[in-house]
């Protein structure tokens, strides 16, 4: 009986410790000042103090003729924040007409009084294909007007498994890369392992976090001289239909 009672007490103590473990930290937009703002997502109060906004302006979709699809009903006017025009693309065969459309959109956004930083290209370039991606970015740099900067998004895998020579070559073309740590509405599991050597990435880089996602800063960030801060991907609030319980 004594042994059984001791085992029961040990099990209860272990369960108590497990219940007392704190939940992982979650991303709160109010603690940040750089944001991704996608079409259809109303800016929260935290965006009022934004230092930098990456705003989705257009998409270039896979299939059919290549063309820029305008994703906004009008031109945004955000005089208080630095603004990047983000173009989400699923292909890299942009033709002359596509580039004319991108330059025209940049010009409209600048004329609206925005503090326009330049163009961000949101493309999921595979780690093994960085050399080919650089050729596209070389052309992108030539298509931009003098003074317009070039930003790209990057996959989490780049910082861990990207070829150092290919990454160094990108550093000569783009002004920054924003590394995405999420898929859909969730942080990618095991993200910490990808950041063990983030301080060796030879490009000015930021880290994109998803609103409400799990995040604990990797130790390497403390010694990372090229780390430019966090960018929070804001989510659309769930609708009544999203919150309704599903029928079995």
**Tokens 């085992």 appear where?**
7
- CB atoms < 10 A from the CB of 161, how many? 11
Give the DSSP H or E segment for 2: helix 2-20
pLDDT-derived band of residue 21, with 50, 70 and 90 as boundaries?
low
The model's pTM: 0.86
Tell me the mean pLDDT in the region 2-26. Answer: 62
pLDDT at 8: 54
pLDDT-derived band of residue 24, with 50, 70 and 90 as boundaries?
confident
> Is pLDDT of 22 > 80?
no
User: What are the pLDDT digits (tens) for 191-216?
Assistant: 999 998 888 899 999 999 999 999 99
pLDDT-derived band of residue 238, with 50, 70 and 90 as boundaries?
low
26-236, CATH topology level: TIM Barrel (3.20.20)
User: What are the pLDDT digits (tens) for 151-174?
Assistant: 999 999 998 888 989 999 999 899
User: What are the pLDDT digits (tens) for 81-109?
Assistant: 999 999 999 999 999 999 999 999 999 99
Residue among 220, 170, 227 nearest 197 (CA): 220
Q: Is 50 helix (H, G, I), strand (E, B) or coil?
A: coil
Contact 223, 198 (CB under 8 A): no
Which of the 8 DSSP states describes residue 235?
-
pLDDT at 2: 52
Contact 207, 168 (CB under 8 A): no
> Is pLDDT of 48 > 80?
no
pLDDT at 184: 86
Kindly give the interhelix angle for 130-143 and 164-171, rounded to the nearest 10 degrees: 0
User: What are the pLDDT digits (tens) for 93-150?
Assistant: 999 999 999 999 999 999 999 999 999 999 999 999 998 999 999 999 999 999 999 9
Tell me the mean pLDDT in the region 216-224. Answer: 91
> Which residues, other chains included, contact 45 with Cβ-Cβ below 8 Å and sequence gap of 6+?
30
Share of residues in the chain with pLDDT > 90 (%): 69
Which of the 8 DSSP states describes residue 214?
B
pLDDT at 242: 41
């Amino acid at each position: 009986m004594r042994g059984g009672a001791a085992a029961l007490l040990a099990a209860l103590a272990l369960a108590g410790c497990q219940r007392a473990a704190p939940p992982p930290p979650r991303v709160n937009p109010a603690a940040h000042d750089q944001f991704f703002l996608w079409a259809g997502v109303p800016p929260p109060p935290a965006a009022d103090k934004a230092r930098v906004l990456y705003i989705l302006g257009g998409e270039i979709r896979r299939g059919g003729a290549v063309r820029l699809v305008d994703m906004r009903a009008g031109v945004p006017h955000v005089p208080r924040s630095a603004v990047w025009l983000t173009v989400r693309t699923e292909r890299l065969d942009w033709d002359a007409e596509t580039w004319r459309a991108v330059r025209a959109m940049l010009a409209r956004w600048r004329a609206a009084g925005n503090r326009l930083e330049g163009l961000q290209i949101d493309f999921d370039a595979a780690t093994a294909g960085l050399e080919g991606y650089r050729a596209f970015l070389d052309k992108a740099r030539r298509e931009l007007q003098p003074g317009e900067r070039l930003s790209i998004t990057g996959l989490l895998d780049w910082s861990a498994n990207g070829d150092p020579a290919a990454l160094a070559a990108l550093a000569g073309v783009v002004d920054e890369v924003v590394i995405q740590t999420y898929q859909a509405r969730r942080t990618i599991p095991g993200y910490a392992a990808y950041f063990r050597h983030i301080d060796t990435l030879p490009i000015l880089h930021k880290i994109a976090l998803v609103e409400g996602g799990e995040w604990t800063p990797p130790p390497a960030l403390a010694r990372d001289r090229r780390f430019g801060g966090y960018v929070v991907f804001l989510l659309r609030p769930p609708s009544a239909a999203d919150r309704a319980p599903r029928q079995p």
